[in-house]
Amino acid sequence: MTPATDTLARAGSAGCTDAPIIQERGQREVFCGLTSIVWLHRKMQDAFFLVVGSRTCAHLLQSAAGVMIFAEPRFATAIMEERDLAGLADANEELDRVVARLLERRPDIRALFLVGSCPSEVIKLDLKRAAGRLDRAFAPRVRVFNYSGSGIETTFTEGEDAALAALVPQMPDEAPGAAPSLLVAGTLPDVVEDQFRRLFADMGIARVGFLPAPRLADLPSVGPSTRVLLAQPFLRDTARALEERGASLLSAPLPVGAEGTTRWLQTAATAFLVPRELFQNVTAAGAARAERALLRHRTALAGRRVFLFPDSQMEVPIARFLHRELGMELVEVGTPYLHRTHLAAELALLPEGTRIVEGQDVDRQLDRCRQAAPDLVVCGLGLANPLEAEGMTTKWSIELMFTPIQGYEQAGDLAELFTRPLARRQRLAV
């Protein structure tokens, strides 16, 4: 495997750029979009996420977040009882009462998200209208937004896309004649964001904003001088909303692994005319550390076969990382949705002939997985335990969202997510 800094010069083939994508539409096994609240509420420090849903929604969030009962997180569930579902109570009056009580109890809230769920969607509760009504009542102290995290309409990571898209109209206009600025879109852990800020600053890119911002008042400006780099591959609606505000989208691989991070940073450097020598000086040390961290994992994973079920929409960049930087063989790469425009740079780096499946027919995919008998299966929690019982080795795809994986310093930690289950299986076999 060549060092990441050398791979920039050898982008030879088009990989899977024009490859046919197999589309499946059947039974799915994925989390709903409510799950993204778990990382969003940690990032947005003056925001609160109020799910309008059932006790099942509340249990899901509590379990996914691992929040202790005495903690006070920045999310909750307005539980719809039988009277609400049967239309015996005015759901809007009940919601207004819950929101007023919440804001009285939590004066630190500046952004309130009303999050739709399966129950609220089923009874056609118009949360967009409710958000507008409540926004007029509590603005400017509190701004009220809404989006759907319903499992009927969204999967796992689409909740983040909907939440960030709801924020875009709140972003201030850039000043007339403003100098070009860089906007990194997609939720990143604070430690990763700080690392990227330092790298951009060292390159001389001074005007850098991140979406989401820790506080509503800190949302960066956007306009025709804004260049957008996606930190996550699933931000379709967010990217469209930013482009409608005049921003330009930069096409780059995701900052996953040493190579992906270098290419992602290089895209920004090229857009902002950073001299090549300066770019190499800024990134060389981080790329070298990442390469050293990956070396022992490459020894353990090279030649192993991996099957990726659709779950987080991170599957394509993760597949690129596993193949190019760790030497794994890709049996199948499934993803809930494939945004060709956003993933063009990733698809170009996949090996030609890779089997890519958009959507899911879980029974057919399970049959293919069993027939292929891969060394490692990346899948959601709902499939992991049954497959483990059948003797397969699995990795929970949810960890790709709950763990810092972007950037040079996290490359080794990302690789370890895949070596750990294989090491565990080997220990159990002894």
Which residues are 75's β-sheet partners?
49
Q: How many contiguous H segments (helices) and E segments (strands) does the chain have?
A: 18, 14
Q: What are the structural domains of the chain?
A: 4-28+290-429 (3.40.50.1980), 33-154 (3.40.50.1980), 181-276 (3.40.50.1980)
pLDDT at 11 over 60: no
**Residue 238, CB-side half-sphere exposure with 13 Å CA sphere:** 29
pLDDT, tens digit, 9 for 90 and up, residues 67-83: 544 456 899 998 876 55
Pull the structure tokens for residue 276.
């090549």
Nearest CA to 286 out of 3, 72, 45, 73 is that of 3
Q: What is the arithmetic mean of pLDDT over 414-430?
A: 89
pLDDT, tens digit, 9 for 90 and up, residues 318-356: 999 999 999 999 999 999 999 999 999 999 999 999 999
**Collapsed DSSP state (helix, strand, coil) of residue 191:** helix
**Residue 422, CB-side half-sphere exposure with 13 Å CA sphere:** 20
When pLDDT is cut at 50, 70 and 90, the band that residue 7 belongs to is very low
Residue-level pLDDT at 84 = 55
Residue-level pLDDT at 87 = 55
pLDDT, tens digit, 9 for 90 and up, residues 202-248: 999 999 999 999 999 999 999 999 999 999 999 999 999 999 999 99
Residue-level pLDDT at 224 = 97
Residue-level pLDDT at 9 = 36
Burial 184-199 (b: 16+ CB within 10 A, else e): bbbbbbeebbebbeeb
Pull the structure tokens for residue 77.
């569930």
Find out whether 379 is annotated in a ligand binding site. Answer: no
Residue-level pLDDT at 28 = 81
Q: What CA–CA distance (Å, rounded) separates 391 from 267?
A: 43
CA-CA-CA-CA torsion for 336, 49, 171, 130, nearest 10 degrees?
100
Cα dist from 373 to 50, 334, 357, 370, whole Å = 43, 16, 18, 5
pLDDT, tens digit, 9 for 90 and up, residues 28-74: 877 788 999 999 999 999 999 999 988 888 888 888 777 544 456 89
**Collapsed DSSP state (helix, strand, coil) of residue 206:** coil
DSSP class of residue 163?
A: H
Q: Which runs of consecutive H residues, i.e. helices, occur in 272-351?
A: 276-301, 315-324, 344-347
pLDDT, tens digit, 9 for 90 and up, residues 177-200: 999 999 999 999 999 999 999 999
Residue-level pLDDT at 4 = 36
DSSP H or E segment with residue 222: none
Query: What's the whole-model pTM score?
Result: 0.92
Pull the structure tokens for residue 179.
């100098």
* In contact, 226 and 242? CB cutoff 8 Å: yes
pLDDT, tens digit, 9 for 90 and up, residues 250-289: 999 999 999 999 999 999 999 999 999 999 999 999 999 9
Q: Angle of helix 411-429 relative to helix 276-301, nearest 10 degrees?
A: 0
Burial 14-24 (b: 16+ CB within 10 A, else e): ebbbeeeeeeb
* In contact, 233 and 400? CB cutoff 8 Å: no
When pLDDT is cut at 50, 70 and 90, the band that residue 136 belongs to is very high
Q: How far is CA 309 from the centre of its chain?
A: 16
Find out whether 369 is annotated in a ligand binding site. Answer: no
Percent of the chain's residues with pLDDT above 70: 93
* In contact, 259 and 7? CB cutoff 8 Å: yes
